[in-house]
Amino acid sequence: MSKSAVIKGTSYVLVHTPEFVIHNGTTQTTERLVNPDSTYLAALPNHIRSYEDAVAYPPNQVFLGSKKPEILSGIEMPWCNTKLEDAKRFGTYGELMPEDEFYGLVAICDVFDLVILETDFAAMVKEKLAGHPLIGEDLISRIRDGISRDNIETYVKEEHGEPLFHKGAMVGYVKRAHDIDETLSAHVLFENLVYKASSVLALLHLIKNTDINKGDIDYVIDCSEEACGDMNQRGGGNFAKAAAEIAGFVNATGSDTRSFCAGPAHAIVEAAALVKAGAYKNVVVFAGGTTAKLGMNGKDHVKKELPILEDVLGGFAVLIGQNDGINPEIDLSLIGRHTVGTGSSPQAVISALVTEPLDRSGLSITDIGKYAAEMQNPDVTKPAGAGDVPESNYKMIAALAVKQGVIERTAIPDFVAKHGMPGFAPTQGHIPSGVPYLGFAREDILEGRIDKAMIIGKGSLFLGRMTNLFDGVSFVVRKNRGDATGDGTSEAVSDTSVKKPVIGIAAEDSELGSDVVAEGIALAEKRGFIVKRIEGVDCHKKMDELLAGKGIDACLTMHYSFPIGVSTVGRVVTPGRGKEMFIATTTGTSSADRVEGLVKNAIFGIIAAKASGVKEPTVGIANIDGARQAEAALLRLRDGGYDIRFANSARRDGGVVMRGNDLLAASADVMVTDPLTGNLLMKLFSAFTTGGNYESTGFGYGPGIGENFDKLILILSRASGAPVIANGVEYAAQLVENDWKTIAKDEFAKAKEAGLASILGEIKERSKSSDKNTDTSTAETEAEVAMPPKEVVTAEIHGIEVMDIEDAAVSLWKKGVYAETGMGCTGPVVLVHPDKEEHARNLLAEGGYIHQ
Amino acid sequence: MDLENQKRVKEYSEQFGPENLVVILGAAEGEAAGLAAETVTAGDPTYAGPLAGVSLGLKVYHICEPEMKDEVDAAVYDEQVGMMEMVLDVDEIVKEMSAIREQYTKY
Amino acid sequence: MAILEGKKVVIIGDRDGIPGQAIAECVVTAGADVVFSSTECFV
């Protein structure tokens, strides 16, 4: 596999900070100095937006990933006139944090006792933060008890403290850290602490979004436009480590990269190079937000009767890691660079950043699916006379394409629409610089909408008065080229004539740690199996994509919601004789009816055993409730012509019903049981030599089998140890090599021919009549209720009785909520679209299916 | 317009004489160009900077205007500005600039 | 009469329009003397 670094995930955060606009934005602080009685300052408070309005603001929802950038094209400008009704604080990539909670986070990030909050305010903030899903007690306990308001006012006056306001009241202050040193003044420290806190928020969301262990991050790069140090080393740094410390990345070192707004693009190229070179494995590039730029264009917004649109801090984080064969690669052969000699004409800049790298690789401007240069929200910039910045960048790229003869001049608008997108990022300098699209780019590439995206960072170095130069760097993110190629140079490909199955492992939840999974994979590879590890929070999505696209032939995973009718056949080595035995089944649910389920499990077990090379497997039924009825049904099936070989108990009285002793001795090749008992047996057989929490023997919980279920997904436990993982790979490879799909099809066909349907029908009829209460409640069938439009269902609702699960789903359909049923790891679940989860829960609670 | 830039314009106008000074703009939009032009002719309309209430009446052009294009080397212009002609709304810029010049330029 | 020739020129460029340096390259070819060039940044 190529060594290219990949983008494993992103996070984007916003913080609503109306008071910082008034007290800290440089437009306002400057105005207060030069023109303290200005009409602007007087009018300003009337133009401040509420938190709810900031949340409902369409570009903010796009930045958080809840909406696609394209929706903005359909909204009339100014966008601030539109409030999205379904807007939420938490989005796909992060959140929009309110000001009061953010003060708490600022206090958490203070390690020098510089932030002092007022007593009641501190208590209130602590209480609010206790409800935050990502900020734990360890962080909250860092907020110290407050002091009285009178004391705050005294300190602000006498000690040059920077006052902190919320809803117009003074709620705390930041101390200066030195009496003379300007770089340690309260104003600068506040700015830096705000920056640090918004960075930490982005880091916490990145951890959640990528599911990586904090300890696995070994390098962090901060790429903002802030400076921290003292008067002897004004830009000493290192924001990166300061934020990583609070976020808990104990194994990370790091550094700061600066180049005005081009910083993020430089930092990502550096990170990709570090990973590709092998210096570090997991590098996080991040930046927080800046108070100085809040309300930067406020005068124009007020003049045009608009709200102050620059009222949020922005932040982002990106995880760059080793090639996993799935996530989009950062192609270091396609870097665009603005050099000292490039010059500053827009044409020279865009040529250097866009066409030069493409020309080097023989690509055309139109080969890049999407470009992302400066994603500033035009709602902010247009009223200020700075135009639509992303649009002019796209026009520049289109104009170059015209000059190169790739497109006609009249095609510029089409090019802009196809290869660009509306700007949606807050004007926080480095934040909008190309990177806001990375989250969407990753999704667009993973889901096949585009192959390549170019991210362009541009920086105004001349503002620092050290040079008149401009700066810029660009890089290309492209679809993962998998095993076959690496940066254009092909590596050895395994001989296709002896093509071995590729087994995926999406095991992100191991209780034993990521290392154990790696150990299991290494063990399997040593035995000659081909394994592909799938990582990230969305590993199940990737797994499904890879299975569908034949990138892998089978996959091992933990927690998978199989549909009802599918359950897994485990495989263990029994202690009595060291003999292998299939446990049918171990997770999932074959049927809501116990006896029907046992009968089906017998067939599933036979399929798994045959596909694992056991030609004529013997079947026994564990001595559990329903065993006798299942035995009778299976006998009828045999009489109908289905070739089933019954095992004989090793106990003196024999028979097909197996006692505990038979389990230990593996008297049957296939042991039929209900999945809950089967699951229990799996754990006993797998962990009885280790004291319990490390499952060291056997082959895991096995493949999900069911009629018409054609994906090969095998289940591992979160406690599956390295040998079990390796055996699981072997189990999967055998099933693929023995063509399990055909075997399953044959067995189902034969059972059907032997009258399976009527036998199962009778079983169900009997159990129904034995439970008269269910007759009326289940009268309504799915067919009588119109199915709402199908949608992606990923939110699991637990706690519904297995007998009621189908009725629960139908009850949601009746209310227009599309739902599916499945088996979660702790029982049956109803699956709905995440946006409808709350509504569905309420409906299910009303219907008595769950208790809220 | 940035306060520092207003200060510089004012100083150079005093140093070289307003009749000898030309201000050239590169603004991205007509409106912004017009505001900057107004600042160096009639005075800072936002009353924030050193040119508030100071009517210098300077000669002011946007680099994309035909008068400028006529005077500078065509090859250099094409290399430095050519592409941006396709990106900016030049007509709008010309309209705004002409209006300000007609009204306020003294030289 | 030429507008630029022999005149002192102050350039107020725009990062998202035409940057100061690019304007300077142009106007010197018309015989102007650039006394000040800066580039504003609204974003």
- Assign residue A225 the CATH number of its domain: 3.40.47
C3 belongs to a structural domain: no
What average pLDDT does the segment A96-106 reach?
98
A757 and A827 housed in the same domain: no
Residue A769: CB atoms within 10 Å: 10
A42 and A179 housed in the same domain: yes
Identify each DSSP E strand in A654-730 by its residue range. Answer: 657-658, 670-672, 702-705, 713-715
At A827-849, the pLDDT tens digits run 778 889 988 999 999 999 888 88
Cα–Cα distance measured from residue B92 to residue B77, given in angstroms and rounded to the nearest whole number: 20
What average pLDDT does the segment A669-691 reach?
93
State which of A762, A791, A811 marks the end of a domain.
A762
pLDDT at A489 over 80: no
Write the residue in C9, C16, C26 that is nearest to B28 by C-beta.
C16
Number of domains comprising chain A: 3
Which is it for strands A827-832 and A819-824: parallel, antiparallel or unpaired? Answer: antiparallel
State CA A535 to chain mean position distance.
Answer: 10
Which residue from C minimizes the CA distance to B71? C30
In residues, how long is chain B?
Answer: 107
For the ranges A74-88, A184-198, A669-683, A767-781, the lowest mean pLDDT is seen at: A767-781
Nearest to A271 by CA among A313, A235, A350, A218: A218
Predicted pLDDT of residue A825? 62
Known catalytic residues of A are 825
* One-letter amino acid of A808: A
Is A801 in contact with A827 (CB distance < 8 Å)? no
Q: How far is B35 from chain C (nearest CA, A)?
A: 12
Alpha helices in A694-786 (DSSP H): 722-737, 740-753, 756-769, 773-777
At B94-107, the pLDDT tens digits run 999 999 999 999 98
By the 10 Å C-beta count (0-12 exposed, 13-18 middle, 19+ buried), B10 is classed as middle
* Residue contact A412–B47, C-beta within 8 A: no
Is A205 in contact with A13 (CB distance < 8 Å)? yes
SS3 A775: helix
Question: Domain of A810?
Answer: 780-846
Which residue, chain included where needed, has tokens 């934020």? A243
C25 belongs to a structural domain: yes
Number of domains comprising chain B: 1
Identify each DSSP E strand in A142-182 by its residue range. Answer: 162-166, 169-174
pLDDT bin (cut points 50, 70, 90) of residue A697 is very high
Local structure of residue A90 (DSSP, 8 states): B
Q: How far is C36 from chain B (nearest CA, A)?
A: 8
A816 and A756 housed in the same domain: no
Inform me whether the C-beta atom of residue A41 falls under 8 Å from chain B C-beta atoms.
no
At A274-331, the pLDDT tens digits run 999 999 999 999 999 999 999 999 999 999 999 999 999 999 999 999 999 999 999 9
Write the residue in C18, C22, C43 that is nearest to A374 by C-beta.
C43
C32 belongs to a structural domain: yes
Inform me whether the C-beta atom of residue B73 falls under 8 Å from chain C C-beta atoms.
yes
Inform me whether the C-beta atom of residue A468 falls under 8 Å from chain C C-beta atoms.
yes
Nearest to B85 by CA among A373, A418, A376, C22: C22
C33 belongs to a structural domain: yes
Question: Domain of B24?
Answer: 3-104
State which of A478, A497, A520 marks the end of a domain.
A478
Contacts of A412 in chain B (CB under 8 A): 86
* Residue contact C15–A460, C-beta within 8 A: yes
At A611-635, the pLDDT tens digits run 999 999 999 999 998 888 899 899 9
Is B53 in contact with B43 (CB distance < 8 Å)? yes
The sign of the torsion formed by the CA atoms of A365, A371, A373, A377 equals positive
A494 belongs to a structural domain: no
pLDDT bin (cut points 50, 70, 90) of residue A537 is confident
Question: Domain of C25?
Answer: 8-40
Nearest to C24 by CA among C4, C41, C42: C4
Inform me whether the C-beta atom of residue B26 falls under 8 Å from chain C C-beta atoms.
yes
* Residue contact A460–C22, C-beta within 8 A: no
Predicted pLDDT of residue A125? 97
The structure tokens listed for B33 are 């160009």
* Residue contact B87–A345, C-beta within 8 A: no
pLDDT at A791 over 70: yes
Please give the residue that has the higher pLDDT: either A851 or A122.
A122
A784 and A758 housed in the same domain: no
Q: What is the pTM of this model?
A: 0.63
Which is it for strands C33-40 and C8-14: parallel, antiparallel or unpaired? Answer: parallel
Number of domains comprising chain C: 1
A307 and A425 housed in the same domain: yes
At A244-269, the pLDDT tens digits run 999 999 999 999 999 999 999 999 99
Which is it for strands A96-97 and A6-16: parallel, antiparallel or unpaired? Answer: parallel
pLDDT at B73 over 80: yes
Cα–Cα distance measured from residue A190 to residue A176, given in angstroms and rounded to the nearest whole number: 9
Please list, in sequence order, all residues whose beta carbon lies within 8 angstroms of the beta carbon of residue A14, skipping any fewer than 6 positions away. A54, A60, A63, A64, A94, A95, A96, A97, A312, A313, A314, A315, A426
Contacts of B76 in chain C (CB under 8 A): 25-26, 29
pLDDT at B2 over 90: no
Of all residues in chain A, what percent carry a pLDDT higher than 70? 95
* Residue contact A346–B48, C-beta within 8 A: no
Nearest to A557 by CA among A717, A710, A324, A733: A717
State CA A811 to chain mean position distance.
Answer: 30
A281 and A343 housed in the same domain: yes
Is A476 in contact with A269 (CB distance < 8 Å)? no
CA angle B65, B48, A19 (to 5 degrees): 115
A440 and A575 housed in the same domain: no
C2 belongs to a structural domain: no
What average pLDDT does the segment A694-706 reach?
95
Write the residue in B2, B26, B73 that is nearest to C18 by C-beta.
B26
Which residue, chain included where needed, has tokens 């306002």? A28
* One-letter amino acid of A262: A
The sign of the torsion formed by the CA atoms of A320, A323, A329, A331 equals positive
The sign of the torsion formed by the CA atoms of A82, A83, A85, A90 equals positive
A685 and A787 housed in the same domain: no
Is A335 in contact with A474 (CB distance < 8 Å)? yes
SS3 A704: strand
pLDDT at A59 over 80: yes
A791 and A684 housed in the same domain: no
Enumerate neighbours of C (3 or more CB pairs within 8 A).
A, B
Distance in angstroms between the alpha carbons of the first and the last residue of chain C: 38
Q: What is the ipTM of this complex?
A: 0.94
State which of A478, A496, A524 marks the end of a domain.
A478
> Measured over all CA atoms, what is the biggest interatomic distance in chain B, rounded to whole angstroms?
40
Predicted pLDDT of residue A483? 52
Cα–Cα distance measured from residue A351 to residue A358, given in angstroms and rounded to the nearest whole number: 10
Phi and psi at residue A331, to the nearest 5°: -90, 105
Residue-by-residue DSSP string for A101-127: HHHHHHHHT-SSS-EEEBHHHHHHHHH
SS3 B3: helix
A751 and A827 housed in the same domain: no
A487 belongs to a structural domain: no
* Residue contact C3–B16, C-beta within 8 A: no
At A587-611, the pLDDT tens digits run 999 988 899 999 999 999 999 999 9
CATH of the domain at A613: 3.40.50
